[in-house]
Structure 1
Amino acid sequence: MPEIETARLLLRPYTPQDLDELAPILSNPAVMRYSPRGPIPKDQVKEVTQRTLQFFITHWQQHGFGVWAVVEKATAKLIGHCGLNFLPNSPEVEVLYRLDEAYWNQGFASEAAKASLRYGFEQVKLDHIVAITAPEHKASRRVMEKCGLKYEKNAQFYNLDVVYYALARSEWRSDDSLYISQS
């Protein structure tokens, strides 16, 4: 599984050893507010985090792409995740991101999402990548727009009403931001 280095981040494969760093992020109700599963009850955090890690690891093994652990290079701290994932019951691939609250509004999500899109279009050769979020999740919508995704429609995924953004490889343009891919 490849790693990607950006100006401030390292996107690397998750391992089961990430459990103790990821669990506090996923247990934060503010971080999970717009998650399809919602906030995780305290007594289920470890179990849900283990299942999440296993899902991400298995997705990489099955599809050759997936969701990375996002590590801030300056501190070597795991700050969340970002990457590519199949939407449920769909052939479509979404770019997704979830970062610890302390890292919001600093451009980290956009930086990680742009790297994930570049990987998806350049290395995986995907023709189309989508993103979804709750209609009221303005911060997530801004990330999508900064990355070049365009609103297409309202939709339903995970039994939730969402806004659906998309970007075709033919419309995608790489910027000059640092991007180093290592396999």
Structure 2
Amino acid sequence: MPEIETNRLRLRPFTLDDLDRHAQILSNPEVMKYSPRGQIPTNKVKQVTQEILEFFINHWKQHGFGVWAVIDKQTSQLIGHCGLNFLPNSPEVEVLYRFDQSYWNQGIATEATKASLRYGFESVKLDRIVAITVPEHLGSRRVMEKAGLKYEKDAHYYNLDVVYYALSRSAWQPDDTLYIPLFHPKNTD
């Protein structure tokens, strides 16, 4: 599975070793405020986080793309996740992201989202990538717009009324920000 390096971030595959730190991020009620899951009960955070990580890992194995662990290059700390995922019961691929609250309003989500879009269009050769959020999640909507996605419609996913943004490969414009894909050879042992 590939890794990507950007100006401030390293996007790498998740491992189950990420469980404790990612559970810490997902246990914050503000981080989960607009999540389809809602706030995760304290006694279930580790279990739910493990299920999420296993889903992300298996999605990569099944589809050749997925959601990365996002690492702050300066601190080497896991700060959230970002990547590509099939929308439920749909052939459409969404870009999604969730970050530790201390990394909000710094352009981190936009930087990771742009890298994920570039990977989806250049490496996976997707024709279209979508993003969804609840209408009142203005921060997420700003990330989508800064990354080049355009509002298309109101929709219903994850049992929620959402706004639906999209970007086609033909409309996508790569920028000159640092983007270094790092591909690792498969283990042949």
1:140 counterpart residue number: 140
1:6 alignment partner in structure 2: 6
Q: Deviations over 1:17-69 (max 9, x none)?
A: 00011001011000000100100000000000000000000000000000000
Q: Tell me the CA shift for residue 12 of structure 1.
A: 0.1
Residue of structure 2 equivalent to 1:39: 39
Residue aligning to 1:179 = 179
Structure 1 match to 2:163? 163
Amino acid at match of 1:137: H
SS of residue paired to 2:109: helix
CA positional deviation for 1:182: 0.8
SS in 2 for 1:54: helix
User: 1:89 matched to which residue of 2?
Assistant: 89
Give the % identical residues: 74
1:124 paired to 2:124: yes
Counterpart CA distance in 1 for 2:142 and 2:50 is 30
TM normalised by structure 1 equals 1.00
Deviation, 1:92, is 0.2
**Letter of the 2:128 counterpart:** H
For the residue of structure 2 that corresponds to 1:144, the secondary structure is helix
Question: What's the Cα RMSD here?
Answer: 0.3
CA–CA separation in structure 2 for the residues paired with 1:180 and 1:81: 18
Aligned to 1:73: 73
Quick one: distance in 2 between partners of 1:145 and 1:45? 31
Does residue 56 of the first structure (1) align with residue 81 of the second (2)?
A: no
1:172 is paired with a residue of what secondary structure?
coil
Deviations 1:2-27 (A, max 9, x none): 00000000000000000011001011
Tell me the equivalent position of 1:153: 153
Displacement after TM superposition at 1:180 (Å): 0.1
Q: How far is 1:89 from its partner?
A: 0.3
In the alignment, the residues of structure 1 paired with residue 52 and residue 23 of structure 2 have an alpha-carbon distance, to the nearest angstrom, of 10
Q: Which amino acid aligns with 2:12?
A: R
Aligned length: 183
Q: CA deviation at 1:142?
A: 0.3
The two structures have a TM-score, normalised by structure 2, of: 0.97
Counterpart residue number, 2:27: 27
